[in-house]
Amino acid sequence: MESVKEHIDLQGLPQHVAIIMDGNGRWAKRKGNIRLFGHRQALRAVREVIEAGVELSLGFVTLYTFSTENWKRPKAEVLGLMELLVNTIRKETPLLMENNIRLRAIGNIDDLPRRPHRELMKSMELTRNNTGLTLTLALSYGGRSDILSAVNRIVEKAVDGKLEPGQSTEEDLRAEMSTHYLPDPELLIRTSGEFRVSNFLLWELAYAEIYIAEKLWPDFSREDLYQAILDYQRRERRFGMISEQIKTL
């Protein structure tokens, strides 16, 4: 069977793909199992997407792994997710090295328990000089929180005389956000058919193309990623302009 990949224009790829991996709990429930079972099975989809990203030579992939709101979930599920995070990072780091992938993280990662925090920091240090795909995990992350933290740091700089009050620019704000090293995502993928951004990359998604997949995340495959990219390439990105203006650029 022909792969969707054959129809992708490799010269017109999105540089940064962000993904809201939704539907693990519902997937497990449909299988008659506990929610944590869905989270474990979701790792296959993560691997498929990362492998496909490497094959396509994508620059950046950001995965919404654990939000600030997710701490409100049942304690057993949160503890299970943290243990899964520890084991996954430990197991997958050699593969990150083998594929020249750099691991980074955004969010309040100091809120993570000691073991997942330690494994995350260790993996980021080991992969820091890799030059291929940058894989970013959004952990204990919230878009509003990130913007607020950036604003507070700008206020502190103004109070300290390092910035002129009232003269801050978008670039000043962006420099203070945890995503400062990332280009804005051109493509946002959300699985499970939900039409929400769920407090994810609120500043950065201003002009992202949004692709909603009906599949629950554990069923998402590399072919689904290819389809999302193909759909992206068929769109006209106008950034507030009209079609005639875009054609003259």
The 3-state DSSP class for residue 198 equals coil
Q: Which residues, including other chains, have CB under 8 Å from residue 7's CB and lie 6 or more apart?
A: 230
**Cα–Cα separations (whole angstroms), residue 38 to 35, 45, 112, 195, 216:** 5, 11, 21, 21, 10
Active site (annotated) includes residue 33: no
Is the CB of residue 147 less than 8 Å from the CB of residue 177? yes
Write down the catalytic residue from 9, 22, 100, 224.
22
184 phi/psi in degrees, rounded to 5: -60, 140
Helices (H), 57-198: 75-98, 114-127, 143-159, 170-176
Is the CB of residue 178 less than 8 Å from the CB of residue 204? no
The 3-state DSSP class for residue 15 equals coil
What DSSP line would sit under 47-75, residue for residue? HHHHHHHHHHT-SEEEEEEEEGGGGGS-H
Beta strands at 209-212 and 134-141: parallel, antiparallel or unpaired: unpaired
Active site (annotated) includes residue 160: no
Write down the catalytic residue from 70, 99, 108, 130.
70
- Residues recognised as catalytic: 22, 70
